[in-house]
Amino acid sequence: MNIAEFIQVLPKAELHLHLEGAAPWAMVRARSDDTLPDAPIWWDDDFKFDDFLQFTEAIALCYRHILTSSKAYQQVARAVFQRLAAQNVRYVEISFAIGWAVIQDLCVNDVAAAIKRAAPSGLTVCVIGGISRERPDWLTDDLKEAVLSAPDLDGIDLHGDETLGGPAPFVDIFARARQAGLLTKAHAGELAGPQSIKDTLELLGVNRIEHGTTAM
């Protein structure tokens, strides 16, 4: 058995996956109103995003024409899970942007349930609701209740540009999520320094920091 074969047969866990950026490119092209190339430029070996804005624009291209219904979330999730299963992934934590779902007038739990229905046998799926650091005004009391009472939602994550929004506005929902037994995660140390990680840990008490690359 060579190294590639050994890696293939290893059981794996995927702990950081955004559904919005994971749709197969063929599906993106088929559903887009724009004419898209056979392969996106960011697949090139030497490609590097100019900044975080360019990165988020690329991600938006991958979901804005696709994720418009609960059925579409299920279809994309099914395609993503099939690829994971082919890599012998046994456990995945997959997030979806709650803000986008709300813009599409979709129920948070309907989306979470649709994603879970797409899971094949042998793959345990943990669905995480992503909350935007940049738009705390979106997190109304009604939306908080919808998130915290969603039976198919397994956790919450704080997404977005750290330089545009700190963790303080989200203390309440993260405290309530912990009390409800939900998994709590937050992106930090991705675009800002170690103080951002420290503030996020101290204020939100999350189970896990996503990225954290500026900790040192």
Q: Is the dihedral of CA 204, 186, 133, 150 positive or negative?
A: negative
Using CA atoms, how far apart are residues 144 and 146, in angstroms rounded to an integer?
5
190 is catalytic: yes
Buried b (16+ CB within 10 A) or exposed e, 7-19: eeeeeeebeeebb
Catalytic residue, from 20, 93, 190, 210: name it: 190
**CA 191/CA 159 separation, integer angstroms:** 11
208-211/89-97 β-pairing: unpaired
What's the CA gap between 193 and 136, in Å, rounded?
21
Count Cβ atoms below 10 Å from residue 62 Cβ, excluding itself. Answer: 22
Take residue 147 and report the two structure tokens written for it.
Answer: 């998130």
* Catalytic residue list: 190
